[in-house]
A and B are shown apart, each in its own frame.
Chain A
Amino acid sequence: MHDNHTTTSAAFWATLKRDLLIAFKKKNDVVNPFMFFIIVVSLFPIGISPESERLTEIAAGVIWISVLLASMLSMDSLYRSDYEDGSLEQLLLSPHPLFFLVLAKNISHWLVSGLPVVLVSPLLAYMLALPQEAYGTLVLSLLLGTPIMSLIGSIAVALTVGLGSRGLILAVITLPMSVPVLIFGTLAVQATLNSLSPVGYLSLMLVMLSVSISLAPLASAAALRISVN
């Protein structure tokens, strides 16, 4: 009876695959935040000034803020439909540590919402006249920062998934917690622009990412248990 029970890693991969499959089938949830990101960034040259000196100054901040807003938009899909169709209860009742299953969901969420944004960012940086030498830092900082946002957002969504009308509460919880990421992300790019080394800021982001990976899924798991209660 007990010999064919799954290992935690099998449950982890099954959950990751399932979430990617759902994202693939519900393309709206993936495409909308991505389009939103591109549109918001494109509005700045129109609204502020097309002059490249002024755009260069604000480029890093604009991209980072748009990433933050787009990630807010994508968060809701993380647990909501699972909560509504009862899959979340199945997840909670699995014999495997919820930490890894939540982590699988977060990784899948980042792969479909964070990674595309990172990949397209050099193109938008070009549009905002960011000097080429800063592209690498921008991409690297986004690569470190977007998973942190997914992990932090996951806690907030887990806490609010049981509420009927959430409205702005998700943003109120998530945005303040994302401020350090925003600061170090933009500072890293600015440092490169001023011919300084961004390594310090990027290392700090790496630390934040490590801490989030090890702690945020625990918090999300606890929050999910409360929400389902």
Chain B
Amino acid sequence: MSSAAPNNHTESKNGETMLSARQLFCARDDRVLFKDLDFDLIEGQVLQVQGSNGSGKTTLMRILCGLNDNYEGSIKWYGQDIAEQAAGFFSSLLYIGHRVGVSKVLNPIENLRWSCSLLQAVSDEQIMNALKEVGLRGFEESPCYTLSAGQQQRVSLARLIISPARLWVLDEPFTTLDAKGVAQLENFLQSQAQSGGSVMVTTHHKLNIPQLNILSLG
């Protein structure tokens, strides 16, 4: 595929650069997904990654989270290599991928109890409130295989409410949501940005958020 250029280098009014990527290069099966990719993610910013299907959006997200190491270039977290900062980086990171990390045999409460507790101490009350907020009231005790894809997505989105993570990396979080869910998620992204956190999100959806910046791939 063709190379990518950062579309929009942002106003740095909000504060420090959280994540900065320089000269990122990634190829898969002799196909260059992106090269010389530079971008900064600043506190209080929502960065939407755009690109056609197969342009490497998911790969980029996974590279940033350290799930994929088939790349060249540097990624820094507050100016330091992620490898040196691993504990700090991972305790500030919340990633929701295509596979949302919701076990089908467990119910939403049990799922969140585990996935949240990897990051922070969490009470059942917090979980119940978060589930109520994402519209899963009444489904708290249903095994997740009885829930629809959108509802399972909502279970994973409940983590956004509970989590203190400063950096959200969300890969196609809008796909299965209904209109109301989309609006709600936009609100979440906005309030994360307002509180000084940052979001990287891939979606084909047109986001309606003031702090939005766009990174185009491919």
Contact = CB atoms under 8 A, between A and B. Distances in A.
Contact of B66 (A10, A85, A87, A93): A93
A10 B143 CA distance: 24
A89 B99 contact: yes
Q: Is the interface of A mostly helix, strand, loop or mixed?
A: helix
B121 A4 contact: yes
B121 A18 contact: no
26 contacts: A1-B166, A4-B120, A5-B119, A6-B119, A10-B117, A11-B117, A14-B117, A18-B113, A18-B114, A22-B103, A22-B105, A22-B106, A25-B143, A81-B104, A84-B99, A85-B100, A86-B98, A86-B99, A86-B101, A89-B67, A91-B118, A92-B67, A93-B66, A93-B95, A95-B119, A96-B118
B105 A26 contact: yes
A15 to B, nearest CB: 7
Contact of B120 (A6, A22, A228): A6
Contacts, number: 96
Contacts of A85: 99-104
A223 to B, nearest CB: 14
Interface residues on B, range: 20 to 34
B67 A229 contact: yes
A90 interface: yes
A11 B118 contact: yes
A69 B128 CA distance: 43
Interface stretch (B8-16, B86-94, B181-189): B86-94
A18 B106 contact: yes
Given A86-B100, A89-B95, A93-B66, A14 B118 contact: yes
* Secondary structure dominating the interface of B: loop
Contacts of B90: 93-95
Given A2-B91, A10-B117, A94-B118, A228 B99 contact: no
B97 interface: yes
Given A10-B117, A14-B118, A25-B106, A1 B101 contact: no
A96 B120 CA distance: 11
Interface in A75-90: 81-82, 84-87, 89-90
Contacts of B110: 18, 21
Contacts of A96: 118
Interface in B60-109: 65-70, 86-87, 90-91, 93, 95, 97-106
Interface of A: 1-2, 4-6, 10-11, 14-15, 17-18, 21-22, 25-26, 81-82, 84-87, 89-96, 101, 228-229
Contact of A95 (B70, B91, B115, B166): B91
Given A18-B106, A22-B103, A90 B118 contact: yes
A94 B119 CA distance: 6
Interface of B: 65-70, 86-87, 90-91, 93, 95, 97-106, 110, 113-115, 117-121, 143, 164, 166
Contacts of A81: 103-105
A96 B118 CA distance: 8
A89 B101 contact: yes
A21 B109 CA distance: 12
A90 B155 CA distance: 14
Contacts of B164: 1, 4-5
A5 B67 CA distance: 22
A210 to B, nearest CB: 28
A18 B109 CA distance: 11
Contacts of B115: 87, 90
Contacts of A17: 114
B105 to A, nearest CB: 5
Contacts of A22: 103, 105-106
A55 B30 CA distance: 60
A2 B102 CA distance: 25
A197 to B, nearest CB: 45
Contacts of B97: 86, 89
A5 B91 contact: yes
Contacts of B106: 18, 21-22, 25
